[in-house]
Chains A and B, each alone.
Chain A
């Protein structure tokens, strides 16, 4: 046997309406001087990222999904093996926010009932075009008892942090139920960001 190089492996999915920014969340806006048109033409299927949480080395395998697939066509096979789901809407598009409820219903129907969810209100860099307030995002997350964060793939706001929060929530589940039930929520609201400093970006 090869030496074990990690403690846990979590599979995560990005889900949400077309155009909300799932691909951009996975595939950073790398419009730096070394932008590689070759990679962006083909597109990223998934990424493997390593994070350390509470002394554990965790591998995250993060999958993009094609948004033209609507919730009514997404069934069990789509969610197979997923331990975490990032449910993304666009703060500048009301419809994508309304559809969150439908996506949640779809996840309830087809995903593993243990799956950890998180709602992301993406494109928070576009304040002037905002139509969904942060409060409404927080409210729907509270209503369903799941985590929430506003992100910007473009400005690299909260992206790494969102993934480590989701990973942490899964870790709480897998490392026994003795964990304080309120811990997860507090973690979202209080924990300082552990994400590395934002890279120089497009803006």
Chain B
């Protein structure tokens, strides 16, 4: 469990002031309402490349079109009950999106149906 896995990049993570011992040093909160998503030191910092739908989709976009952006810093949560407060959407293409349990803002990350692991996008939350 405590072994650092292949894809984690400890060297790089040392430079982030919100990462300590490869984990989130601070409490993870919703950007919009401050709802507590993760307790401090409860999730592993990882880098991986993932396309996530934008939190604010352009109202003038074509019907059915989804605007994505590439996100590459995440907190990795192995057990969903580690979350303090979080929402899971219905499943889309073997994945569920994560949203704030209090104001429903999101996606703040995604949940992989196969591995049952969750990934919180660091650019979409705030630390406290």
Which A residues fall within an 8 A CB radius of B?
1-2, 5-6, 9, 27-28, 30, 32, 34-40, 42-50, 59, 61, 199
Nearest CB of A to B6, in Å = 20
Task: Take A30-B104, A45-B96 as given contacts and tell me if A50 and B84 are in contact as well, using a CB distance cutoff of 8 Å.
Answer: yes
Number of B residues contacting the other chain (C-beta, 8 Å)? 38
Closest partner residue, chain B, to A42 (CB atom): B89
Q: Using a CB–CB distance below 8 Å, which chain B residues touch chain A?
A: 1, 32-33, 36, 39, 42, 53-57, 59, 66, 78-92, 96-97, 99, 101-107
In the complex, are the beta carbons of A38 and B102 less than 8 A apart? no
Residue in B42, B54, B104 whose Cβ sees the most chain A Cβ within 10 Å: B104
26 contacts between A and B (CB under 8 A): A2-B1, A9-B81, A27-B104, A28-B103, A30-B105, A32-B103, A34-B56, A34-B103, A36-B99, A36-B105, A38-B53, A38-B66, A39-B99, A42-B97, A44-B87, A44-B99, A45-B89, A45-B90, A48-B80, A48-B84, A48-B85, A49-B101, A50-B36, A50-B83, A50-B85, A199-B103
**Nearest chain B CB to A1 CB, angstrom units:** 8
Closest to B91 in A: A45
Q: Who on chain B is nearest to A5 by CB? A: B82
A39 in contact with B106 given A44-B87, A48-B86, A199-B33 (CB within 8 Å): yes
Alpha-carbon separation in the docked complex, A5 to B83 (Å): 9
Contact B81 A39 (CB under 8 A): no
- Cα separation A39 to B87 with both chains bound (whole Å): 10
For residue B119, give the distance in angstroms from its CB to the closest CB of chain A.
Answer: 15
Given contacts A6-B81, A47-B86, A50-B36, 14 further A-B contacts (CB under 8 A): A1-B1, A27-B87, A34-B32, A38-B55, A39-B97, A44-B87, A44-B99, A45-B90, A47-B85, A48-B83, A48-B86, A49-B85, A59-B81, A61-B81
Contacts of B87 in A (CB 8 A): 27, 39, 44, 46-48
